[in-house]
Chain A
Amino acid sequence: DARVTQTPRHKVTEMGQEVTMRCQPILGHNTVFWYRQTMMQGLELLAYFRNRAPLDDSGMPKDRFSAEMPDATLATLKIQPSEPRDSAVYFCATSGGSDTQYFGPGTRLTVL
């Protein structure tokens, strides 16, 4: 049963600390998306990659957020420094050319 894996599932940190979230795509999926979900804004697309190359990061605050794909099996989303307003659930989703995105379980981030 192929699934998107995300770690950690939960993260509590203090304001100013660096946070790194990781995503392992479904094997063979070449497109990776990062979303943020909050009660106020719903699901927002932050950035996405195809074949490890960034295609769009217009939804991401550039000053503190960064997204990378060091290899085909790992995508990372980093926040430095973190702020309380970054508290949200961050989802990774992947697709393999079918135009359907499959989501991971999410990382629930709380910044104190």
Chain B
Amino acid sequence: AQKVTQAQTEISVVEKEDVTLDCVYETRDTTYYLFWYKQPPSGELVFLIRRNSFDEQNEISGRYSWNFQKSTSSFNFTITASQVVDSAVYFCALSEYKTSYDKVIFGPGTSLSVIP
């Protein structure tokens, strides 16, 4: 069965600190996608990244970076030099080829508060 776990329910950091959001997934499929979405206080879900199961290269986009490790079934997200605008709920998600890429399973989310 597919499952996404985000063990950190809430995190608070002081501005300019680095923070890592953990994501652990379960799947029996060898072909799948992993995603991160951001939900700021305004409520809209914003797509951040998609990674397919065959690409374990780490990704960096500005202050954001993602570490995908199949050996530990993890897809962690790091924000470097956090800013107040990073305060949001972050969702990790998974979709499998066998089940259908349309069926995206979302984790429970991690609420990040960046304190000025």
Contacts and interface: CB of A to CB of B under 8 A. Distances in A.
Interface residues of B, number: 19
Interface string B27-43: 00000010101000011
Contacts of A105: 42-44
A71 to B, nearest CB: 21
B44 A106 contact: yes
Contacts of B33: 99
A49 to B, nearest CB: 10
B79 to A, nearest CB: 21
A91 B45 contact: yes
Contacts of B50: 99-100
Interface stretch (B15-23, B58-66, B70-78, B98-106): B98-106
Interface stretch (A16-24, A40-48, A62-70, A77-85): A40-48
A103 interface: yes
Contacts of B103: 45, 56
The interface residues of chain B, by DSSP majority, are classed as: strand
Contacts of B108: 42
Given A42-B109, A45-B104, A55-B102, A103 B91 contact: no
B104 A103 contact: no
A103 B45 contact: yes
A3 to B, nearest CB: 9
A89 B43 contact: yes
Contacts of B43: 89, 105-106, 108
Given A31-B102, A48-B102, A100 B35 contact: yes
B35 A33 contact: no
B43 to A, nearest CB: 5
B106 A42 contact: yes
A97 to B, nearest CB: 10
Contacts of A43: 91, 106
A43 B106 CA distance: 7
Given A31-B102, A42-B109, A43-B106, A100 B42 contact: no
